[in-house]
Amino acid sequence: MTQYWLMKSEPDECSIDDLARLPQQTVPWTGVRNYQARNFMRDAMKVGDGVLFYHSSCAEPGIAGLAEVASGVTVDETQFDPQSPYFDPKASRDKPRWLHVHVKLRRKTRLLSLREMRSRPELASMLLLKPGSRLSITPVTPQEWQAVLALLEP
DNA sequence: GCCAACGTTGGC
DNA sequence: GCCAACGTTGGC
C-alpha cells in the first residue's frame, strides 16, 4: 500500500529546481542525522511512496513540489567523509549509522506556503504543523495528501 | 540573530 | 537509567 511522506530540504542545498535539473530528476537524500527520520526511511518507506517536497530554513518555507521514493535505503557515504558537514566520527564502515533513500521529482507545484498550510483546517493534523515539530521526515496520511493535492490544483 | 523545543551526550 | 548540559532545528 502506498504511503505518503513530507521531506524537508533546504533550498540552499537542494531546491525543487535543483532537483529538476539533476540526472533522472533524482537526488540521494543524504544527511539525515536523526534516528526517527532514519527509521522511517529504513522501516516504513517503500519505492513509489508519495513525497511532499518541502522547502525549509528559507524566506518562504512551504511545499514546493511532489516527488516519490525512488529507491530503498543505502548507506549514506557522507558519514565517513571528514570533509562533509554530515561527517559522523562515531560511524564506522563496519557499523554504518546513517542511511538514505533516493527521491525522484514528480512535478514542481506552486508554493503552498507554511503560512497557508497553517490557515487550512484540513491540514491541521499534519505533524509538520505541530508545535515544536522539527523532524525532517514525517508521515502524511492519505487524507492529508489528498487535501494538499486539492490545494495545489490550478 | 533570537530563542523555544527537542534530541543527544555523558557523568554518575 | 537518570538528568543536566549542550547542540541543533527552523520559523520568525
A133 touches strand B (CB under 7 A): yes
Within a domain: A99: yes
Residue A104 domain boundaries = 4-117
- In chain A, how many domains are there? 1
Q: From CA A36, how far away is CA A59, in angstroms rounded? A: 27
pLDDT at A137: 96
CA A93, CA A91: separation in Å to the nearest integer?
7
Does A126 reside within a domain? no
What's the pLDDT at A93? Answer: 87
CA A6 – C1' B9 distance (Å)?
29
Q: Looking at the domain assignment, is residue A40 inside a domain?
A: yes
Instruction: Report CA(A153)–C1'(B8) in Å, whole number.
Output: 41
Nearest-angstrom CA–CA distance, A154 and A144: 18
Asked if the structure places residue A94 within a domain, the reply is: yes
Strand B contacts in A 13-42 (CB under 7 A): 34-36
Tell whether A62 is covered by a domain.
yes
Here the CATH number for the domain that contains residue A84 is 3.10.590.10
* CA distances for A88 relative to A34, A36, A52, angstroms: 12, 17, 28
| Residue-by-residue pLDDT tens, chain A, 154 positions | 789 999 999 999 999 999 999 999 999 999 999 999 999 999 999 999 999 999 999 999 999 999 999 999 999 999 999 888 899 988 888 889 999 999 999 999 999 999 999 999 999 999 999 988 899 999 999 999 999 999 998 7
Residue A2's pLDDT is 84
Q: Is residue A141 part of a domain?
A: no
Residue A23 is assigned to a structural domain of this protein: yes
Interatomic CA distance for residues A64 and A105, integer angstroms: 11
Residue A43 lies in a domain: yes
